[in-house]
Structure 1
Amino acid sequence: MLLPDGYSDIPHGKIAAVVTHLEMTERPPRRDDPPGALRLRRVDLPALDWYRDLYRRVGEEWLWFTRTGLDDADLAARIHAPGIELYGLAVEDHDEGLLELDFSEAGQCELLYFGVTAKFIGTGAARFLMNRALEIAWSRDVGRVWVHTCTFDHPSAVAFYQRSGFRPFKRQIEVADDPRLDGTLPRDAARHVPVIA
Structure 2
Amino acid sequence: MLPDGYSDVPQGKLAAVVTHLQMFARPAPRAAALPGAELVAHAEPDPEWYRALFTRIGRDWLWFSRLGMDDAALRAILHDPQVAVFSLRRAGEDLGLLELDFRIAGECELAYFGLAAELQGQGAGRWLMEEALTRAWAAPITRLHVHTCTLDSPAALAFYIRSGFTPYRRQVEIADDPRLTGDLPREAAPQVPIL
Q: Point out where structure 2 has 5 or more consecutive residues left out of the alignment.
A: none
Give unmatched runs, 5+ long, in structure 1. none
- In the alignment, what sits opposite 1:154? 153
- Preserved CA contact (<8 Å) 2:34 2:124: no
Cα distance, 1:35 vs structure 2: 4.2
Aligned partners of 2:47 and 2:75 also within 8 Å: yes
Q: In 1, are the aligned partners of 2:12 and 2:180 still within 8 Å (CA)? A: yes
Residue number in structure 2 paired with 1:117? 116
| Counterpart residue number, 2:53 | 54
Task: Please list, as runs of the form range in 1=range in 2, the aligned pairs for 1:72-87 lying within 5 A after superposition.
Answer: 72-87=71-86
Query: Would you say 1:166 and 2:165 are equivalent positions?
Result: yes
- 1:34, distance to aligned residue in structure 2 (A): 3.2
Stretches of 4+ aligned residues off by more than 3 angstroms: none
Residue 137 of structure 1 corresponds to 136
Query: Does 2:174 align with 1:185?
Result: no
- After TM superposition, the score normalised by the length of structure 1 is 0.96
SS of alignment partner, residue 179 of structure 2 = coil
Q: Is the 8 A contact 2:23 2:143 kept in 1?
A: yes
Measured in 2, the distance between the counterparts of 1:90 and 1:126 equals 13
**Number of equivalent positions:** 195
- Counterpart of 1:180 in 2: which secondary structure? helix
- Provide the residue aligned with 1:20 in structure 2: 19
Letter in 1 for 2:134: E
Task: Give the deviation of 1:82 after TM superposition.
Answer: 3.0
- What's the C-alpha RMSD, in Å, of the aligned pairs? 0.9
- 1:178 and 1:86 map into 2 onto residues whose CA distance is 26
Q: Is the 8 A contact 2:97 2:113 kept in 1?
A: yes
CA distance in structure 2 between the partners assigned to 1:103 and 1:182 by the alignment? 31
For the residues of structure 2 that align with 1:158 and 1:143, how far apart are their CA atoms? 22
Question: Aligned partners of 2:136, 2:123: CA distance in 1, in Å?
Answer: 20
**Residue 159 of structure 1 aligns to which amino acid in structure 2?**
A
Aligned partner letter, 1:115: G
Residue 191 of structure 1 deviates from its aligned partner by: 1.3
What is residue 10 of structure 1 aligned with on the other side? Answer: 9
Q: Percent identity?
A: 53
CA shift, 1:111, in A, is 0.6
Counterpart code for 1:85: A
Q: Distance in 1 between matches of 2:172 and 2:34?
A: 38
| Structure 1 residue 17: Cα displacement | 0.1
